[in-house]
Amino acid sequence: MAVSLSRKIAFDVLRRVEAEGAYASDVLHAELTAQVKPADAALATELVMGVLRWRRLLDFLLDRQMKKPVERLDLPVALALRMGAYQLRFLEKVPARAAVNESVELVKRARKLSAASLVNAVLRTIASDAKSSPEKYLPSGISAAERIAILHSHPTWMVERWLARLGEVQTIALLDANNRAPRLSCAVHRADERDEIIGALEKAGMRVEPGVLLKAAFSVTGGSPARTQAFRDGQISIQDEASQAIPLLLGVRESDRVLDLCAAPGGKTPALIRAAGNTGAVVAADRHAHRLRAMAAQFQRLGLQRAQLVELDATHALPFRGEFNRILVDAPCSGTGTLARHPEIRWRLRPEQLAESSAQQKRMLGNALASLARGGRLVYSTCSIEPEENEDLVRAVLQESPAIRTVSSIEAARTLAPYLASQVNAPGLFSADDFFRTSPATHRTDGFFAAVLEKE
């Protein structure tokens, strides 16, 4: 029996994610070329992201049927079992026979013939019990955090943190949001062309919905915007709406001197370049040369040439002589606000890494503030929902920087308001401590944090 193209792609992508530490979205983008039929691309994506999101629950159910835990099996065998179990549990339109048989063929294709009978037997048992609630198999006496973590497929330490800070209702809402496919949102680079672009996408068979935050943005289902003429012509980019909102908080004006300190992969820089106009100057910096080259290619697609790309390590003193009116520090972080989009992060991240990230981010923010002109504005942002990387860090820096103040939520909301969709209350995007926050559960976007700071 031949293995379908969609399952081959999914299996190979998952193997690279696990063995090489690759990001699933990047590998899928490379694998799902124009030659892959949309139906195959859709199933491959569903299998990859579904297996990664639900890995803990799948392993819990599979471990019940085996003497050796899934984690200790050869990787190709573990992946075939997880793919099969995911299809049997979550994909009602996939026949059980196809899910089992093709998983068996995948281990044969990976030259693990001795495991074929194991995969067949385990998945047949899973298939016979696919409609049962996994809750009935939980061991007695486990903690509430452990129970929630298994059923919602997250690490226990992560759930414990969120329960302590958010409570059970909000935590479960967040976990549910992390286990749903995120909106595929697009940034429109010329707002006056929005209706024309949407019309062309709909004509191509895609379904388009208005943005949830920004009036110029929209989301797409039923196809890939990256395959459209609008994308090739630089009219749109694929970007989460919360991410799109971050550079708008800077309030860049024509003739401003702007620094995007951690610019790669370059999604936020175009908004800064356009706002600075022909008389402004934008410096986009990153520590990795290959990421700067990728940014240059991105800017070429967008028809942008007014940016100076600089390779630097932002944890060290910055090499610039002049100061900047506007600085964006979109700091590298844990990414816990993007677990729906990048589910593999939840299995890679360790609690101790939060402190390491925080120390690095604090150095970056301090260096950036040293290059901020008097009266200038700086936005510090992350796609994390962890206090160590967000409000705790900003407050610690402010204690050491008496000339820096947090811009009030009223003032920051006034900057953002012109870009927001009519149903969005601008002050509602800011918490009582004047920080900008979005939540996957509340806003259907990635979870972003931003502090808007000014030097007096």
Q: Which residues are part of the catalytic machinery?
A: 383
Evaluate whether 329 touches 364 at the Cβ level (below 8 Å): yes
Amino acid at 11: F
C-alpha 305/C-alpha 282 separation (Å) is 10
* Complete DSSP assignment for 16-36: HHHHH---HHHHHHHHS-TTS
Burial of 16 (0-12, 13-18, 19+ CB in 10 A): middle
Q: What is the DSSP letter of 284?
A: E
Instruction: Give the β-pairing of 449-455 and 404-406.
Output: antiparallel
- Cis preceding-peptide flag for 155 (omega within 30 of 0): no
Q: Among candidates 237, 216, 213, which has minimal Cα distance to 225? A: 237
Q: What is the DSSP letter of 432?
A: T
* Complete DSSP assignment for 331-363: -----GGGTTT-TTHHHH--HHHHHHHHHHHHH
Amino acid at 84: G
Q: What is the DSSP letter of 430?
A: B
Amino acid at 218: F
C-alpha 380/C-alpha 385 separation (Å) is 14
C-alpha 103/C-alpha 140 separation (Å) is 32
Evaluate whether 325 touches 373 at the Cβ level (below 8 Å): yes
For helices 5-20 and 24-31, what crossing angle results, to 10°?
140
- Note the maximum CA span of the chain: 71
